[in-house]
Chains A and B, each alone.
Chain A
Amino acid sequence: MIEIKQLHKYFGKLHVLQGIDLNVNKGEVLSIIGSSGSGKSTLLYCINGLEPIQQGQIMVDGIPVHDAKTDINKLRQKLGMVFQQWNSFPHLTALENVALAPKIVRKMSRDEAKTIAEKQLRHVGLGDKLDVYPSALSGGQQQRLAIARALAMEPAYMLFDEATSALDPELVGEVLDTMRLLAEEGMTMICVTHEMSFARDVSDRVAYFHQGHMEEVGPPAQIFGDPQSPHTRKFLASVR
């Protein structure tokens, strides 16, 4: 379970997250929507400790992320993250991309790492691209490679930061399908997304972020069908 309590985050004077309270349960899929600059990415970075926080607390399975005593590298193994830019390691083949972290972080043997990498590449539909370098893959394939790379750490949670925003429109579908597959398999997911149909169809809950606040959170039917906040209504009208 991910528990966020009274989270405040500043970039210098900029108050980017202004008191976020949010729990994400095991097996739940939460989509976060909201206009650009509202602090959605920053929240994900805070959850896996890539950004420090100034106030409040984030707990992952009861472990405080920003506590100095926490082994953050160990905790991050529970938290897979997929970014807007896929960040494939260009000097490694698809298989090596996925096998690297299991090998050096989880200390797996070469064979074990290879086995899990193959399994996850097949999982995301790249079973025929094992020995291909990222430069020979499309954006959609590279993003699925990034998903496989995160999954190879066998995380308990997956954080997606606009995983489809940098893709050509015709490649969005294959990545969303992969995310949908993970959701069906029961993965706990937090998805920052601009894909409203994904948020509506796949999520258990949808959170709307507005200027550093979580303006509204609830089941998709409520957020999309009967939004309570005027900000949410305005935003939804603008993306439709």
Chain B
Amino acid sequence: MSEPISFFSGFQVNDLVFLGEAAGRTLLISAVSITIGTIFGIFFGWSLQASKWLAQTTIGTILDIFRSVPLIIQLILFYNFFPIIGWNTGPFAAGAVVLSIYTAALVANVVRGGIEAVGIPMRRAARSLGMSYWQDLRYVVWPIGLRAVFPSWVGVALSVIKDSALVSVLGYMELLRASQILITRTQEPFIILACAGAFYFALSYPLSKYSQKLEESWTS
């Protein structure tokens, strides 16, 4: 505290590095959850669409629960539940599992919408050309559906990056938690939260920019 650069705030260059590392962890847990959640979400969304009532009553109900219970409650519940079933896990793994399921629940809905956007007549036309069920999915439903719901998927991904802040309640040292610690020490909430916000923006901006580019290339 006696060093000259730490006058008033106590906010030091080191702290910026500390925040940067935390942002890296936010990125890591978000990327892992979005990837895993998207893969499962595609599978769930497809099953919901393909087998109307069977999947609807099983997967559909489970996903509805995950979509409607606040994420923070899910995180605390599961973090305390995992050790009961014999899985002693750190905050990262627990947070990533819960975030992945939550993402999958959101993506499943997006995917179902994408498949429905293609429509039965289009798919019958594809099948009438001799395409198999899987060829129709791969070459017709996937590219058309993807273009239809890609913006919604980006929306889900961006919200998962923000919602990953909630994993801080498990003690995972991501951006929000790191900011809280610095605020407690320095009593400079304004500058620290501004930095944290800038980091969140820096994480999200490339994704939204890249997706914008991609969408433009599709419409040309």
Q: Which residues of A contact B (CB under 8 A)?
A: 45, 48, 50, 73-74, 76-77, 79-81, 83, 85, 87, 89-91, 100-101, 104-106, 146, 149-150, 153
What sequence of 0s and 1s flags, for each residue 129-156 of chain B, a beta carbon within 8 Å of any chain A beta carbon? 1111001000110011001000000000
> With A89-B140, A91-B143 as given contacts, are A105 and B131 in contact (CB-CB < 8 Å)?
yes
Report chain B residues within 8 Å CB of A106.
130
Report chain A residues within 8 Å CB of B77.
none
Not counting A91-B147, A150-B129, a sample of 6 additional A-B residue pairs whose C-beta atoms are within 8 angstroms of each other reads A73-B127, A73-B131, A74-B130, A83-B124, A101-B129, A101-B130
Q: Is B125 in contact with chain A by the CB < 8 A criterion?
A: yes
Report chain A residues within 8 Å CB of B129.
76-77, 100-101, 105, 149-150, 153
Does A48 contact B131, Cβ atoms closer than 8 Å?
no
Most interface-central of A73, A79, A146, A153 (chain B CB within 10 A): A73
A139 to B151: give the CA distance in the assembly, Å.
28
Report chain B residues within 8 Å CB of A91.
143-144, 147, 218
A153 to B129: give the CA distance in the assembly, Å.
7
Does B144 contact A104, Cβ atoms closer than 8 Å?
no
A95 to B206: give the CA distance in the assembly, Å.
34
Q: Is B128 in contact with chain A by the CB < 8 A criterion?
A: yes
Q: Is B121 in contact with chain A by the CB < 8 A criterion?
A: yes
Closest to B148 in A: A90
A74 to B130: give the CA distance in the assembly, Å.
6
Does B128 contact A104, Cβ atoms closer than 8 Å?
no
A72 to B116: give the CA distance in the assembly, Å.
24
Q: Is B207 in contact with chain A by the CB < 8 A criterion?
A: no
Report chain A residues within 8 Å CB of B194.
none
A195 to B218: give the CA distance in the assembly, Å.
38
Does B130 contact A89, Cβ atoms closer than 8 Å?
no
Report chain B residues within 8 Å CB of A80.
128
Q: Which residues of B contact A (CB under 8 A)?
A: 121-122, 124-132, 135, 139-140, 143-144, 147, 218
Residue from the list A76, A85, A104, A150 in contact with B127, Cβ < 8 A: A76
Report chain B residues within 8 Å CB of A50.
124, 127-128
Does B121 contact A87, Cβ atoms closer than 8 Å?
yes
Closest to B128 in A: A81
Most interface-central of B124, B140, B143 (chain A CB within 10 A): B124
Report chain B residues within 8 Å CB of A81.
125, 128
A-B contact pairs, 22 of them (CB 8 A): A45-B124, A48-B128, A50-B127, A73-B130, A74-B130, A76-B127, A76-B128, A77-B130, A79-B128, A83-B121, A87-B121, A89-B143, A89-B144, A90-B144, A91-B143, A101-B130, A104-B131, A104-B139, A105-B129, A105-B130, A106-B130, A153-B129
Most interface-central of B122, B128, B147, B218 (chain A CB within 10 A): B128
A77 to B122: give the CA distance in the assembly, Å.
17
A105 to B136: give the CA distance in the assembly, Å.
11
Closest to A85 in B: B121
Report chain B residues within 8 Å CB of A45.
124
Report chain A residues within 8 Å CB of B147.
91
A234 to B60: give the CA distance in the assembly, Å.
51
Report chain A residues within 8 Å CB of B139.
100, 104
Closest to A150 in B: B129
Q: A35 CB to closest chain B CB, in angstroms?
A: 22
Report chain A residues within 8 Å CB of B140.
89
A153 to B147: give the CA distance in the assembly, Å.
27
Closest to A81 in B: B128
A76 to B143: give the CA distance in the assembly, Å.
23
Report chain B residues within 8 Å CB of A74.
130
A119 to B120: give the CA distance in the assembly, Å.
29
A48 to B125: give the CA distance in the assembly, Å.
11
A221 to B129: give the CA distance in the assembly, Å.
34
Report chain A residues within 8 Å CB of B143.
89, 91
A79 to B131: give the CA distance in the assembly, Å.
12
Does B125 contact A146, Cβ atoms closer than 8 Å?
yes
Most interface-central of A48, A80, A89, A153 (chain B CB within 10 A): A89
